[in-house]
A and B are shown apart, each in its own frame.
Chain A
Amino acid sequence: MATEVEQHVMLHTHDGVGLIRLNRPEKMNAIGALTRQQLGEAIKQAERDDAVRVVVLTGSGRAFCSGADVTEMVGGGGMRTPEDVGNVLRNEYMPMLTRLRTMPKPTIAAMNGPAVGIGASYALACDIRIATPEAYLMEAFINIGLAPDGGVSWLLPRLAGTAVAYEMFFTGKALPAEDAHRLGVINRVVPADRFEEEVRDFAGQLAKQPRQALAAAKRAVNHALESSYEGALEFESYLQEAQAGSQEFADGVQAFLARRKK
């Protein structure tokens, strides 16, 4: 008799928005082996599905994601040796975090609550973050004698500056949503009662934007983050050339001119 596989992650697509929801509220959406596998699949599917124009990653219950399931790291679940820890980061987290950052569509972290450890890595790997006032980011690694992982050593200094990043890595203290918003790490903070609606509206707006132009913006930024100023200017010039020949541009200009005539 087949046992039903637990659904740690759900992907629901509606009106161009692919909503990926971590579904372990009783564990504060901690990420274990099964979660990783399902999350990896969901992210891959959201990237491939043309019906998905914008991806939203969120949690269920009180937390966004409380990080890796530490009980699994020290006990069962197939992750025991230090080498296992490294292998899981390289072989499982790395591809899906990279995918979030480079897929040709916007990704939004809807931080319904705290994002801790690898949970913060997911939130920071997304292009945009929307959070409730109760949410926070926390690099808790130091509290259990670990180093930052999941790409935060790269992402956080770029988003918040090295001073803030170091403070978080050294102290393991939470960065509350409002503070993160002030620093530009979180795009907007929305009260819990309006949170889901606001996320839906914002994602819905992006889903109506010209998709190739959205993808081009993301490619330009990702290229620029690893290139010189001149390199970025040149890459932009070619992207713009491709975009200037697109139907999206033809339609966009026509609509713009029609609006001006009124």
Chain B
Amino acid sequence: MAYEYIKVEPDPPIATITLDRPKVLNALSPAVIAEVGQALSELDADDAVRAVVITGGPKVFAAGADIGDMAERSAAEQLNRDQTGAWSPISGFKKPLIAAVNGYCLGGGCELALMCDVIIAGDSARFGQPEINLGIIPGAGGTQRWPRTAGKFAAMEVMLTGGMIGARRAYELGLANKVVPAEMSVAVAQRMARQLAEKPPVAVRLAKESVQKAFETSLAEGLAAERRSFYFLFSTDDQKEGMRAFLEKRKGVFKGR
């Protein structure tokens, strides 16, 4: 399908989604989120695609939401637009989702990055939740995902001051997996996506699901879920192939079965 605000480039076994509104620094309007959600829903259903990169291109990831669109709205209007639901194809995406972040990654943009599984930061990346300066707070998971990743105090600092942190600090906080030169971040993310695309897809999916569980359940429940997935994987062809290949000292070829 055709998109107005994003570019979707499938290059099996991976695909790249690029936020494409450079004039407004890739501000995330509901329409943009809807398009990203639509694209991810389609890519989730596409067996040829095994990992996805999401980026804002070389200069900026996404500098927050469309403020002009929100300024005069009432609480009821905001509630009825159900933006939370619009984000769910992103946070619920089942395949590995890698963010390549350059420049500003603020507000909703930062929350989008935090929904991803891996963040490759360009050295120009700046992360932050400036909502407080507008009299609101993050509304797409920022206050929940920051502390789960960077800890309470870094999260508080970012939420309460509305200030930004650079790529290096983000890396030190565990918010970015890697810091690379900005012009290389998309390529590095795509390479990583290709590496992940070679792994057994069912195991990849369950590994992702299992790690996500760690943020949502008690340890006992998480461990039980992990064990169920672990046993389940012994019913897949890919497990047999993977272990045989290991014993035969060759590279496994996985079919996702």
Q: Is the CB of B188 within 8 A of A238?
A: yes
Chain B residue with minimal CB distance to A239? Answer: B181
Chain B residue with minimal CB distance to A231? Answer: B179
Q: Is the CB of B123 within 8 A of A242?
A: no
Q: Is the CB of A235 within 8 A of B168?
A: no
Contacts of A241 in B (CB 8 A): 184, 187
Contacts of B180 in A (CB 8 A): 234-235, 238
Q: Is the CB of A238 within 8 A of B168?
A: no
Contacts of B187 in A (CB 8 A): 241
- Smallest Cβ distance from A242 to chain B, in angstroms? 5
Contacts of B181 in A (CB 8 A): 216, 219, 235, 238-239, 242
Which of B168, B180, B181, B183 has most chain A Cβ within 10 Å? Answer: B181
Q: Is the CB of A223 within 8 A of B123?
A: yes
* In-complex Cβ contact of B179 among A216, A235, A242 (8 A): A235
Contacts of B188 in A (CB 8 A): 238
- Smallest Cβ distance from B140 to chain A, in angstroms? 31
For B, the interface residue count at a CB cutoff of 8 angstroms equals 10
A235 to B188, CA, bound (A): 11
A226 on the B face (CB < 8 A): yes
Contacts of A242 in B (CB 8 A): 181, 183-184
A216 to B123, CA, bound (A): 12
Contacts of A219 in B (CB 8 A): 123, 181
Chain A 224-238, CB-CB to B under 8 Å as 1, else 0, gives: 001000000011001
For A, the interface residue count at a CB cutoff of 8 angstroms equals 10
A234 to B181, CA, bound (A): 10
What's the A-B contact tally at a CB cutoff of 8 Å?
23
Contacts of B123 in A (CB 8 A): 219, 223, 235
Contacts of A216 in B (CB 8 A): 181
Chain B 163-184, CB-CB to A under 8 Å as 1, else 0, gives: 0000010000000001111011
Contacts of A234 in B (CB 8 A): 178, 180
Contacts of A239 in B (CB 8 A): 181, 184
Chain B residue with minimal CB distance to A220? Answer: B181
- Smallest Cβ distance from A47 to chain B, in angstroms? 14
A234 to B179, CA, bound (A): 9
A242 to B184, CA, bound (A): 7
A15 to B187, CA, bound (A): 36
- Smallest Cβ distance from B173 to chain A, in angstroms? 15
- Smallest Cβ distance from A216 to chain B, in angstroms? 8
A219 to B181, CA, bound (A): 9
A219 to B183, CA, bound (A): 12
Q: Is the CB of B168 within 8 A of A226?
A: yes
A234 to B187, CA, bound (A): 14
Which of A238, A239, A242 has most chain B Cβ within 10 Å? Answer: A238
A223 to B178, CA, bound (A): 13
- Smallest Cβ distance from A175 to chain B, in angstroms? 31
Which of A216, A226, A234, A241 has most chain B Cβ within 10 Å? Answer: A241
Within 8 A of B (CB), among A222-262: 223, 226, 234-235, 238-239, 241-242
Chain B 130-151, CB-CB to A under 8 Å as 1, else 0, gives: 0000000000000000000000
Contacts of A226 in B (CB 8 A): 168
Chain A residue with minimal CB distance to B188? Answer: A238
Chain B residue with minimal CB distance to A212? Answer: B183
A32 to B248, CA, bound (A): 74
Within 8 A of A (CB), among B100-126: 123
A223 to B183, CA, bound (A): 15
A226 to B167, CA, bound (A): 12
Chain A residue with minimal CB distance to B178? Answer: A234
A234 to B183, CA, bound (A): 15
Chain A to chain B contacts (Cβ below 8 Å), 7 pairs: A234-B178, A235-B123, A235-B179, A238-B184, A238-B188, A239-B181, A239-B184
Sample of 4 more A-B contacts, CB < 8 Å, known A219-B123, A234-B178, A238-B184? A226-B168, A235-B123, A241-B184, A242-B184
7 cross-chain pairs, A with B, having the tightest CB-CB distances, nearest first:
A238-B184, A238-B180, A242-B183, A239-B181, A238-B181, A242-B184, A242-B181
